[in-house]
Amino acid sequence: MRLYLTVFALLVAVHCEELFNVDQVLRIQAESENYTEVLKELEKNVDWGLDFWTHGFSTERPVDFRVPNTSLCAVKDFLRENNITFTVMINNVQELLDKERAEMVSNAEIKHKTKSFNFAAYNNLETIYSFMDTLVASHPNLISKVKIGSTYENRPMYVLKFSTGGEKRPAIWIDAGIHAREWVSHASAVWIADRIATDFKENRAPVPSILSKMDIFLMIVANPDGYVFSHISSRPFHRLWRKSRCVTSNPNCPGVDLNRNWDAEFSGPGGSDDPCREDYRGPSAQSEIEVKNIADFITSHGNFKSFMTLHSYSQLLMYPYAYSGTNAPDQPELHDVATQANKALYSWHSTIYKVGSIFHTIEQASGASVDWAYQRGIKYSFAFELRDTGKYGFLLPADQIVSTARETWLALKYIMQYVCDR
């Protein structure tokens, strides 16, 4: 048999017409004892340099082997001559190896990028948006980036969607940065986004179980125009900007307080009609594109169960109402949830937060997002005012970002778990 093969191989090599410059992997289904004999002979042939990927021949399983390009023509002819059917499993081994290598390099770069992203710093919009892309690329089966519209100055508004599937599952909404100068809120949200992804990947409770039943939507920058403006210079005029950047009826005074523009008792006391004020509510409810984009998104989704918004400063964990001192119908339950969430928060660093309705803990505010959400039936609506209590105020040192994010995360986790259980 061997002599026959060797002779045949020589003959075939001379007459081979096809030229290959790549290695291929062929598959043979051994359909009979005869096949097995042929395969055993092939294996013994060192000249052809075959590299068997499956070992042990039987009629039960297919046999895969890599054929060097120099032998491909001869081997294929040999198989045809012997009426052995084969399929080309990989028709370009090098291409596959190159692709795999490129993927590995790219993955390493992505890992490096997420690892090298500085969570303990205040990052500008471009860096945050690029972080979002990196996060999505590292967790393509969990996270997607949803564009819900554009800002007044035509910047994209993105929400990160954390989902393990399903069709419009019950969802949780978290936003930060509706007020531009509250930098620790955006910074905490960035850390939290990464944390949700990592907890899911490393199977750390309760995130995987929450995500098996619910989706999480996280909007890191709810007021991109304002955020960019607050980075323009270190002058207080920029850094301490609160509102959006729309043109108003007063050319000297741009911007609307986006947290007074919601369709919830809009134009009541606790907001201003003067465009030059920091709490200017805008000309009408939802007149501001940023608010409209979020409201429309949440309304058309229709299945949000919780709405949480991050602000700074004052260290408060609050629930509706903002527009009135009357207790919301679910006040006892919301107060309970907030109190428990607060205990979780406190456990990280003993940071003292106070719990209560927005009206009673801060002041009356009309057109606030939390009231809007609650009145739309999103029962578990909460507003956070993060660190500190006035020592640094809006200018919280960056070395407190991660600690702030961690304690906030403990409270958020408690609330999400609570909502999920119901």
> Distance of CA 399 to CAs 118, 121, 132, 314, Å?
11, 7, 22, 18
At residue 328, the 3 state secondary structure works out as: coil
Cβ neighbors of 7 (< 8 A, separation 6 or more) are none
CB of 242 to another protein, least distance (A): 6
For 91, residues 6+ apart whose C-beta sits below 8 A from its C-beta are 22, 24
18 is catalytic: no
The CA-CA-CA angle for residues 393, 179, 163, to 5°, reads 115
In this complex, which beta carbon is closest to another protein, that of residue 22 or of residue 253?
A: 253
User: Between residues 71 and 244, which has the closer beta carbon with respect to another protein?
Assistant: 244
Question: Shortest gap between Cβ of 190 and another protein (angstroms)?
Answer: 15
Task: Compute the least distance from the CB of residue 365 to another protein, in Å.
Answer: 10
3-state secondary structure of 174: strand
Please give the single-letter amino acid code of residue 390: G
Closer residue to another protein, CB minimum distance, 293 or 357: 357
Task: Give the nearer residue to another protein in terms of CB position, either 172 or 256.
Answer: 256
The residue count for the chain: 422
Is residue 126 a contact partner of residue 67, using CB atoms and an 8 Å limit?
no
Looking at beta carbons only, is 65 or 183 nearer to another protein? 183
Identify which of residues 78 and 319 has a Cβ nearer to another protein in the complex: 319
For another protein, the closer of residues 242 and 413 by Cβ is 242
Q: Which amino acid is at 395?
A: L
Q: How far apart are CA 65 and CA 49, in angstroms?
A: 10
Verify cis geometry, omega within 30 degrees of 0, for the bond prior to 388.
yes
- Assign 9 to helix, strand or coil: helix
Q: Output the DSSP codes for 88-121.
A: EEES-HHHHHHHHHHHHHHHHHHHHHHHHS-TTS
Cβ 245 to another protein shortest distance, Å: 16
Report strand pairing: 62-67 vs 24-29: antiparallel
Residues that bind another protein (CB under 8 A): 121-122, 231, 234, 236, 239-240, 242, 252-253, 257, 276-279, 314, 352, 354-356, 360-363, 389-398, 400
Closest contact distance (angstroms) between CB of 334 and another protein is 15
SS3 62: strand
Q: d(Cα 193, Cα 5) in Å, to the nearest integer? A: 63
Alpha helices in 54-182 (DSSP H): 69-81, 93-116, 125-138
What span, in angstroms and rounded, lies between the C-alpha atoms of 140 and 409? 23
Please state the closest distance from residue 122 (CB atom) to another protein, in A.
Answer: 6
Closest to another protein by CB, 156 vs 397, is: 397
Note the Cα 119 to chain centre separation in Å: 15
What is the pairing mode between strands 171-176 and 86-90? unpaired
Query: Considering the complex, what minimum distance in angstroms separates the CB of residue 398 from another protein?
Result: 5
- As beta bridge partners, residue 304 has 171
Catalytic residue of the set 265, 288, 290, 385: 385
Rounded to a whole number of angstroms, the minimum distance from the CB of residue 106 to another protein is 32
CA dihedral 51, 55, 60, 64 (to 10 degrees): -20
Q: Which residues participate in catalysis according to the annotation?
A: 385
